[in-house]
Each structure stands twice: as structure tokens, then as C-alpha cells.
Structure 1
Amino acid sequence: MELQDVARELYGTDPADFVSERDRQAAAARDSGDEELAASIRKLRKPTTAAWAVNLLAAHEPRGLDELLDLGDRMRAAQRELRGDELRTLAADRTRLLRALTDRAADLARERGHPLADAVRDQVEQTLTAALSEPEAGQAVRAGTLAKPLTYSGFGLDELSLVAVRRSATTAPARAERDRRATVEAGARTAERERRVQRDRERRANEKRERDERSAVVRELRTRLKCSDQQLGEAADAVEKIERAQREAEQRRARLRAELEQVDDELRELRRQAKAARQSQERAQRDREAVAERLKRADVRKR
């Protein structure tokens, strides 16, 4: 296996399957004994949706990309030679071709279950514009292994076209004025597209910040819920322990009450017996005294 072949296959894979497929390819390279290739495969980064859509174009619309890159070569040649008439024609071709290829990329992505949002379509179009404007970017797009979308910085084709328009304005004022207006309008469209992209970036940043804030709140609430669950469990254990001790105390009280009632019964019986014994004692005392008195009288008579 060659890294470029593996990368081209991976970057045309559904983004949701990219990581698992990359790991599988790396494992296959390692099993075959090519540790260097395995390490290189593991370094491949998951593509963004826009980059993946452009990679699909490279795989399924190579002729369209060739036409785009050839158009870029012809526009650069016309710019160098300041051929204003040709530039106007090529600029119209550029608009048509960029729109057609962007639509085709959106169709390919939608067929695979990933419809492109407007912001992603803009990224696709910007990447194709970069490929048309810079040969290096064109080769990167043609390779079909983009991990992120491309942007074109520097003087764009519209500005260079304006040079050609001004050059031809000395011989064709009316045509130059039309070209100037067209250039201004194109620049306004470009500026509006850049503003739209910037607004989308800001919106995504705000959405990410809101998601992060919500995630932080959720984590905090989950932590507090976990602590509450722990406290609730400890309180439930304490309640169960106290209720068990209460039941045992009530059982002991019931036993003690029963024992107390039994003791009361025994005490009443002993009191009754003591009273009867005292009465018997008193009778016995009276009987003794009576007997002693009789004995005393008997002794007196005997004398």
C-alpha cells in the first residue's frame, strides 16, 4: 500500500466512519510489517464536511475539476497579458463552473446522507475558488485528500481583472465603465459572501460557547445530583437505623410493662399474704397472752 492511495480512499469515506476505517487501515499496515506506513496513516486527521464534499468531487468529477484548473490557467494567462475581453468571458465561465461544481458536491454529499448547510456550501465554493486561483491549491484539491477547506488570500482574480479593464478603458470607455461596474458588483458579492461566512463563524462560535456553558451547567447539576443522592442515601440509612432502634425500644418497653404487671401482681399477693400473716401473728399473740394469763392464775391458786 502507498500512503497516497490509502489517504485518497479514507478521505472519500463517510466522515462518521473515518476514524474506525483509519484505525483498520493502520492495523493492516502494521500487520504487514510496515510500521512507518501505519504511523503515517494514524496521523491522518478526520476531514470536515466541506473538505469531504470536495474530496467526493475529486473522486467522482475529475473532468469537472480538470476543467476548473484549466480555466484558472487561462485566466492567469489573460491577466498577465491584460486581455480584458477574454477575461470577461472567462469570468462568466468561472461563475458558471464554480456554481455547477458546488451544486454537484452538494448532490454527492446529500446522496450519502449529509446535506450541506449554506455555510458549508460557501466553504466548498471557497475551496474551489482557491483551487482555480492557485496551482498548489488546485493540486491539493485534485489529490482528493483534503482534511479542511481552503481559502484564497491575496489579490483575487476580480482585482486583476480590474487592471485589464482599466487598460482597455482608454480605447473603450463605455465598455470599461460596464466592466468596472461588473467588477464592483462582483467585489460586493465577494465581500457579502465573506461577511456571510464571518457571520456564520461567529454564529458557530456563539453556539459552541452556549453548548459549552450548557455542558458546564449539566456537569454541575449532575455533580450536585450525585452529592444529593449520596446524602439521601446516608439519610435513608440513618432513618432506617433509628427506626430499627425505636422498634427495639418499643419491644423492650412492652416486655418491661409485662414484667412490671407481673411484679405488681406478685407485690399485691405478697401484701395480701403479709396482711394475713400479721393477722395470724396478732391472733397468736393474743392467744399466748391469754394462755399466759391463765397459767399465772393457775399458779396462784396452786399456792
Structure 2
Amino acid sequence: MRRSSGGHGRASGGRGAARVESVLDELYTTPPSDFVSRREEHAAAARTAGRKEDARRLHAARRPTLAAWAANLLTHSRPEEAGRFLELGRALRDAHRTLDAAGLRELSDQRRRIVSALSRQAAQLAGEAGHPLSEAARREVEATLRAVLADPEAADRWAGGHLAVSLTPPSGFPADGAPAEPAPPERPSRPGTPRGKPAGRTKDELAERRRRRQEELDRAEQAAERAARLLRDRRAEQADADASLRRTQDEHGRARAELSAAEQQLRQARERLDRAERERRDAEERGRTAADALARAEREAREATRQVDRSASGVRRSGPSG
């Protein structure tokens, strides 16, 4: 299916624009929970490569809601069904403009069947990707598909595959496909009385009001998304801080226990050192005492030996003469 520019329209030609479109196609089929991290990775890579404008476009991409993401999956994963659905929308709008009641009823029956079938496909794709749709999200997908049938601008945005929010069908298009009642004939105006506004201008003004309301809704949703993202970030930071505090407290408790054990071991080691020092001094004292006793014994032994020698010499001298 030939893609027309959507909410993030194609830049004029060139390899860089095609590269950005390819990245955006990837991002808008990425589950919303992973969108921001993947977007920032691609934007950082573009900045590193010197592609500032590409980085700016990528960074400006808005994270899609779950329903908008599921609608994007339809565009990318079911291109043939999407193409037939867009053709049905063009035919339905033509029948509505020409008030072809028979054709409109036939196309409306197709619309109900196809909207139901495509919404089921979107739910199936989302579930296969690990993000099942709630009933409210299913209704948003169906509203987006009805808007695609009724509004050519909505059809272009959906065909682009880069929806960030769900689309709302215009109030002027019959939801059940019934032809609108023809306008009553215009009464002749009195001289000097201004005639009613031309139908074309009225339609343009309605379209402009719808566009402004859609822009206001987009801005409000962007602000809500930023606030929700900021809240999630702050909660994550708080959780990280709490976890870090718990880890620090646990580490502090372990360090205090280790310090207490070390202090006790130090006290015991000092006591052992003191005992060893006292025992060493006692041993030195006993050693000195034993050395003194040994010296005295040696002196006494030498003295006794000399005394023996002297006594023996006297005996020899006083012996009988021959």
C-alpha cells in the first residue's frame, strides 16, 4: 500500500528523509513501553552521525497510546486489508456526498463488518506482541477506524502508520451509515436581508473547528503524557533511592558488625600480647637467675678442683722417704 504522510509527515525526498521514515515505522510498531528508550537510541545515533535534523525529528516523535499502537500495527502488518479499507472509506464518503441511499446502505454494512474484523485483528496483533488490549482500548481502535472511513485527513494519518493517539470520527458523518436528511429549501430572502452562509463555507468552518479541537486534544494529551512520564520517572527514581537506601543500611549494619567483631578480636589479641610479654619477661628473669647460679656453680667447682689439687700435692710431699 502506498503510504501518505501522517502525523509525522515525510520530509522532502532524499536518503535522510527515507532513513527517518524507516526508523519511525519501526518506532510506531514498537510496544509503547519500549518506545521512548528506542527513540532516544535512534536520536542519539543520528546526533552522533551529525544528522541534527534527523535527530530533532526522531526526538519529537510522540509515544503512542496502546490503542494507537495497535492501529499502527494494522497498517504495517496488514497492508492489503488496510488498502481495501481506505478504498471503502473513499467510496463511503462519495456515497454520503451524493446521498446515494442504496449504495450507502450497502457500504455501511461492509463498514460494520470490516471495522469489527479489523479491530479483532488489531487486538490479535497486540496480544501476539505481548500487550493485550482492554475493552476500552478496543473501542478506541474501532473509533479510529470509523474516523478513517469518515474523514480523509484521518485516513491519511492512519495510512502513514505513525499515530500517537486514537482518532475521533467527525460528528457530521452518520455513525450508522444512514444518509443524512437533505437540507430544507432555502426561503427567498427579503430585500436587504443577508442570505445564509454557503454550504462550502459552513463545511470549511466545521472542518476548521474540528481541526482546532483535534489540535487542542493533541496538546492536552501531549501534556498529560509528559506529566505521566515525569511521574513514572520520579516514581522510578524514588524506588531506586529507596532500594539504594536499604542496600546502604544493610551494608552499614554489616560493617558495624564486622567492626565490632574486629574490635573484639583486637582486644583479645592485645590481651594475648600482654600475657606473652609478661611470660617473656618472666622467662628472661628466670634465664638470668639460672645463668647467675651456673656461674656460681662453675666458680665453686673450679675452687673445689684447685682445693683437691692442693691437697693431693701436700700428700705427695709428706709421704715416707725411701
TM-score (norm 1): 0.53
What residue is the counterpart of 1:142 in the other structure?
A: 159
Q: Distance in 2 between matches of 1:166 and 1:89?
A: 23
Shift of residue 37, structure 1, vs aligned partner: 1.1
Give % identity: 40
CA deviations on 1:12-51 (whole Å, 9 max, x unpaired) are 1121211111111001111111111112211111110001
What residue is the counterpart of 2:248 in the other structure?
A: none
- Does the CA contact (< 8 Å) of 1:84 and 1:164 recur in 2? no
CA deviations on 1:46-96 (whole Å, 9 max, x unpaired) are 110001001100110111111111111111211222211111111100000
Tell whether 2:51 aligns with 1:23.
Answer: no
Number of aligned pairs?
176
What residue is the counterpart of 1:62 in the other structure?
A: 79
Which of 97, 102, 107 lines up with 2:114 in the alignment?
97
Tell whether 2:54 aligns with 1:37.
Answer: yes
Q: Distance in 1 between matches of 2:180 and 2:148?
A: 22
Q: Distance in 2 between matches of 1:131 and 1:166?
A: 25
Amino acid at match of 2:155: G
What residue is the counterpart of 1:290 in the other structure?
A: none
Structure 2 CA distance for partners of 1:165 and 1:114, relative to 1, 3 Å? farther
Amino acid at match of 2:95: A
Amino acid at match of 2:180: V
Shift of residue 120, structure 1, vs aligned partner: 0.2
Bigger RCO of structures 1 and 2 (CA < 8 A, at least 6 apart):
2
Tell whether 2:92 aligns with 1:75.
Answer: yes
- Does the CA contact (< 8 Å) of 2:28 and 2:162 recur in 1? yes
Q: Distance in 1 between matches of 2:71 and 2:143?
A: 11
- Does the CA contact (< 8 Å) of 2:66 and 2:137 recur in 1? yes
- Does the CA contact (< 8 Å) of 1:53 and 1:105 recur in 2? yes
Tell whether 2:146 aligns with 1:129.
Answer: yes
Which of 22, 45, 49 lines up with 1:5 in the alignment?
22
Shift of residue 159, structure 1, vs aligned partner: 7.4
Specify the SS of the correspondent of 1:47.
Answer: coil
- Does the CA contact (< 8 Å) of 1:109 and 1:115 recur in 2? yes
Question: Alpha carbon RMSD of aligned pairs, Å?
Answer: 3.0
Q: Which has the larger radius of gyration?
A: 1
Shift of residue 149, structure 1, vs aligned partner: 0.7
Q: Distance in 1 between matches of 2:175 and 2:154?
A: 18
What residue is the counterpart of 1:157 in the other structure?
A: 174
Amino acid at match of 1:33: G
Specify the SS of the correspondent of 2:93.
Answer: helix
Alignment of 1:91-240 (within 5 A): 91-158=108-175, 161-163=178-180
Amino acid at match of 2:41: R
Q: Distance in 1 between matches of 2:104 and 2:40?
A: 48
Which has the larger share of helix?
1
Shift of residue 163, structure 1, vs aligned partner: 2.9
What residue is the counterpart of 2:66 in the other structure?
A: 49
Shift of residue 5, structure 1, vs aligned partner: 2.2
Give structure 2 stretches of 5+ with no counterpart: 1-15, 185-227, 243-322
- Does the CA contact (< 8 Å) of 2:86 and 2:155 recur in 1? yes
- Does the CA contact (< 8 Å) of 1:18 and 1:46 recur in 2? yes
- Does the CA contact (< 8 Å) of 1:50 and 1:149 recur in 2? yes
Shift of residue 157, structure 1, vs aligned partner: 2.9
- Does the CA contact (< 8 Å) of 1:140 and 1:146 recur in 2? yes
- Does the CA contact (< 8 Å) of 2:95 and 2:104 recur in 1? yes
Specify the SS of the correspondent of 1:59.
Answer: helix
TM-score (norm 2): 0.50
